[in-house]
Amino acid sequence: MKLKILAFGITKDIFGTSQQEITIKDAITVQQLKSILEEEFPELKKLRSYFIAVNEEYAEEDRMITETDEIAIIPPVSGG
């Protein structure tokens, strides 16, 4: 199955695009997705923190992700 991942801010720069697509065999957890992305894009590991949103809501590490989910990577927010 294919997962389409939306990227914003610095994560968009790391990916080199605003959307990234990965192919997986089965549903995976948010933590597994992070591991896959960090292996393919090691620069993600350098971020202080980033979040995964699934269907427009921040997702816990054990949340299952399926092909029909909308996935977004939310970079660290800064400002004042």
- The whole-model pTM stands at 0.90
Q: Name the CATH topology of 2-74.
A: Ubiquitin-like (UB roll) (3.10.20)
| Structure tokens given for 41 | 């894009």
DSSP secondary structure of the chain = -EEEEEE-HHHHHHHTSSEEEEE-SS-EEHHHHHHHHHHH-GGGGGSS--EEEETTEE--TT-EE-TTS-EEEEPPP---
- Of 71, 76, 70, 67, give the one whose Cα is nearest residue 44: 76
* 22-58 confidence digits (pLDDT tens): 999 999 999 999 999 999 999 999 988 899 999 999 9
Per-residue confidence band for 79, with pLDDT thresholds at 50, 70 and 90: low
Domain boundaries, the chain: 2-74
